[in-house]
Amino acid sequence: MNKKLSYEIRSGSASNGVRTILPADSNPALRGIAREVPISDITGKHIKKLIAEMKALLSKEKYGVALAASQVGEPVRLFIVSGRALARDSRNSPDEPEKKDERPAMPDQVYINPVLLKISRMKKEKHEGCLSIRGKWGVVPRAEKVMLRAHNENGEQFTRGASGFLAHVFQHEMDHLDGILYTDKATNVYDEKPEEPEAHE
């Protein structure tokens, strides 16, 4: 049974104080239910620093499209979706080559205390990878459309719908906040082929 983890845990920093993306087998935060961030803390020093560090980590990942706080050892309900993922044509699946120059660059988007409001009955299988499980990818069935509500890094509430690729990204990240890995839902898990990079979350 998943356990709610303490908001005070700080396990995502290496011995030199630099935050890192932790592998699933050594990160207990990935198997626990993350806590909500108090609204008053969203614009506080710690959350601001966490967001900045997560954005920096995500920017270094060539195929990374999203990152949850749990992946860096912070058991709070927060994830970031890269501008690359937001700009990507929603008709593209994670296993298809990304179209170049299809849209202007977009900033990363922060989702704090996200809640799924709607989820379609129709599901579709797509390939997924994970920055916490390197060298693997799997085929995961997920809802084709979702709508969620969250707060941004300024504490403002917003609602966003998504379909296709982005809907899969949202569901993958929501699972991270509930202690679920994509390998728990995958119909098949494979070793990643170097010549066939996947989108990782």
Catalytic: which of 173, 192, 198, 201? 173
Task: Please confirm, yes or no, whether 173 is among the known catalytic residues.
Answer: yes
Tokens 């066939």 belong to residue: 196
Question: Active-site residue numbers?
Answer: 173
